[in-house]
A and B are shown apart, each in its own frame.
Chain A
Amino acid sequence: MKRLTGERTLYLYTWLIIAWLTLPVLIMIAFGFNDTPGRYNQTWEGLTLKWYGRVFELDELTKALVISLIVALVTAVVAGALGTGIGYALGRYAFRGSGTLNLIMFATMSSPELVMGASLLTLFVSLGAGLGVVTITIAHIMFSISFVAVVVRARVLTLDRSIEEAAADLGASPWTTFWRITFPIILPAVSAGMMLAFALSIDDFVVSNFTAGTTTTFPLWIWGATRVGLPPQVNVMGTLIFLVGVLIAVVSSVRARPSRRG
């Protein structure tokens, strides 16, 4: 009986934590429906859908969102490709230098973002490179590669090599074996890694803050507008990004689950 109450308390506690984590998200969503007259969006004035119709009204904000999406897309593709190469090599081959590579990857994942952003800024300043979309993308690809590599390596390590050997025995060249056998098997990990890179990039603030110059991404625009107050359009965009993200996550996890039928 006593154990049961303990379990019950933990159950309620877990839900309390979940509620606490979700509260600011709900507030953000709610204030996208706030019938506020102008830019000041702090107190509840009643329900409206008008901000959803006027979501792209602020040109600078829309531009920032578009830049964020482009950077995240390019980051997902490039970091996806480069990270897959590293992850595959680390999972498949034992080679000299793999220790150093692991160490560098570990360092990129555990270094303070602030220090990574700052060091990239020093490099770009020393080279006299102009800051903008290109430098932001370079930086995002850099911090995403290791995450993609880790996800892909985990998958390659569980790969049953006898399938590849069977393909080779049946006369397939290494090239054919890779594209027809190995790649389809590791594809879920590659796409998971790419989605992770996309998510890391679109949410990034710190590294972008250092490498953007005068260019603004979505989080940077929000940061810059904090002092004057966030317009409801930000809440609407935040809500839409949230919903799309949740939808993709739910769909991919349902598809990844083995079918119970049959």
Chain B
Amino acid sequence: MSRTRRVLAPYLLILPGGLWLLLFFVVPMVTMLSLSLQQGDVVSGYVFTGHWQTYVDAFGNYRTQMVRSLIYGAITTIVLIVLAFPVAYWIAFYGGRRKPTYLFLLLLPFFVSFVLRTISWRQILTDEGMLLGPLKDIGLLPDGFHILGTPTAVIGGLVYNFLPFMVLPVYVALERIDPRVVEAARDLYADPATAFRKVIFPLALPGVFAGVLMTFVPASSDYVNSAVLGSSSTTMIGQVIQSQYLVSSNYPTASALSFTLMGVLLAGVFLYARMLGTEDVMKVAAR
């Protein structure tokens, strides 16, 4: 009796949560895949026709936005690695007893809603606002200068919003490095740059990978930053999908675009994992 209970116990424990994930994550994905291959409209209903042409048309019509989103996502991720690494490095090696305090300060903005923070940036960056206004008054910038509406504003917003997601995993990886390993490299006559390149950076790579995973996907599919800080020339695929769903109610096209986006992003992540060539980065990321 006790033995059956032992075998059944884990299944009983996962049943409610597992069922929830099945019903509201797996089933919706399947529904969306099916809907992307159906034809019809909201009023008269949809019929499954296996109409692959929707994918071809959707991709053809919105290729610019799709490619732009991936480029913005990639630039954001690269800028994030460059900006976040020194911070993570300094906290991990020189933070001392204050490490938790520094990490807490980095996470502080998260106590304010994502949408509100992005709108706050718009207020800072407006053409005659608190940042550009004074600079224009003293003649440092030409009167016609603007940041809002440019790719710089959108990518800047993305970098801003996702920075902690890059700092934290890189920090965790760097924190685990035994300082004696670095000392050993120095004792063996590696100069600081070589010690960094050959010892510290390779050991930090799993952290960088986890950071890329946590930032590239959400940054590429974001639509808040491009809507609040951008213009019609910076429209990202997320905005297209959002308006196809919520404004035009064009479900098959919207579903096809969502699937294409997810497929492309997953392919990108796996390609990147392959490039790094290790199985354990995947495990670290999954942890």
Which residue numbers of A lie inside 8 Å of B, CB to CB? 3, 7, 10-11, 13-14, 17-18, 20-25, 27-28, 31, 42, 81-83, 85-86, 88-90, 92-93, 95, 97-98, 101-102, 104-108, 110-116, 118-123, 125-126, 138-139, 141-142, 145-146, 149, 199, 202-203, 205-206, 209-210, 218-219, 222-223, 226, 230, 234, 238, 241-242, 245-246, 249, 253
Contact = CB atoms under 8 A, between A and B. Distances in A.
Interface stretch (B24-32, B53-61, B134-142, B143-151): B24-32
B90 A139 contact: no
B224 A120 contact: no
A24 B27 CA distance: 39
Contacts of B27: 123
A222 B83 contact: no
Contacts of B91: 14
Given A24-B120, A27-B123, A89-B10, A105 B111 contact: no
Interface string B204-234: 0000000001100110111110001000000
A31 B246 CA distance: 32
Given A24-B117, A92-B10, A246-B111, A17 B163 contact: yes
29 contacts: A10-B90, A14-B90, A17-B163, A21-B109, A21-B163, A22-B108, A24-B121, A27-B123, A28-B112, A82-B16, A83-B17, A86-B13, A90-B14, A95-B7, A111-B217, A112-B220, A114-B241, A118-B255, A119-B25, A119-B32, A122-B31, A123-B28, A142-B21, A206-B224, A222-B119, A223-B224, A238-B112, A245-B111, A249-B111
A119 B115 CA distance: 22
Interface of B: 7, 9-11, 13-18, 20-22, 24-29, 31-32, 35, 42, 83, 86-87, 89-91, 94, 100, 102, 104-106, 108-117, 119-121, 123-124, 126, 129-130, 160, 163-164, 192, 213-214, 217-218, 220-224, 228, 238, 241-242, 245-246, 251, 254-255, 258-259, 261-262, 265, 269, 286
Nearest to A124: B28
Contacts of B238: 114
Contacts of A86: 13-14, 17-18
A118 B258 contact: yes
Contacts of B87: 13-14, 17
Given A21-B163, A85-B13, A112 B112 contact: no
A205 B113 contact: yes
A90 B17 CA distance: 12
Q: Is chain A's interface secondary structure helix, strand, loop, or mixed overall?
A: helix
A126 B258 CA distance: 17
**9 nearest CB pairs, A to B:** A82-B17, A24-B120, A112-B221, A119-B28, A245-B111, A93-B10, A89-B13, A10-B90, A123-B28
B18 A219 contact: no
A157 B267 CA distance: 32
Contact of B28 (A18, A27, A101, A122): A122
A206 B161 CA distance: 14
Contacts of B17: 82-83, 85-86, 145, 149
A111 B262 contact: yes
A239 to B, nearest CB: 8
B160 A20 contact: yes
Contacts of A42: 123, 126, 129
Contacts of A18: 102, 105-106
Kindly name the residue among A3, A138, A222 whose own CB sees the greatest number of chain B CB atoms within 10 A. Answer: A222
A86 to B, nearest CB: 4
B215 to A, nearest CB: 11
